[in-house]
Amino acid sequence: KLPTMKMLLSLIALLSAALLANASPPTCYSRVLSLSKEITESFKELQTSKAVDSCVEMLPRLYLDIHNYCVLAKLRDFVAYPRCERVLEVSELKEKARSLYTIMISYCRRDLVFLTDDCSALENPILAPVEPS
What does the DSSP assignment read for 54-70? HHHHTSPP----TTBTT
pLDDT confidence of residue 114: 81
Considering only residues 11 and 22, tell me which one the structure prediction assigns the higher pLDDT. 11
Residue 129, pLDDT score = 45
Average pLDDT, the chain: 79
> 68 - beta bridge partners?
116
Predicted confidence at residue 51, as pLDDT, reads 60
Q: For residue 115, is pLDDT > 50? A: yes
| Single-letter residue type at 132 | P
pLDDT value of residue 119 = 83
Per-residue model confidence as pLDDT tens digits over 15-70: 666 555 555 556 888 889 999 999 999 988 888 876 666 778 788 888 888 888 99
- φ and ψ of 12, to 5 deg: -65, -45
Among 10-24, 77-91, 93-107, the minimum mean pLDDT is found in 10-24
Query: Are 42 and 90 spatial neighbours (Cβ–Cβ below 8 Å)?
Result: no
Q: Pick 107 or 74 by higher pLDDT.
A: 74
Distance CA 31, CA 44 (A): 20
State pTM to two decimals.
0.70
What pLDDT is stored for residue 95 in this prediction?
94
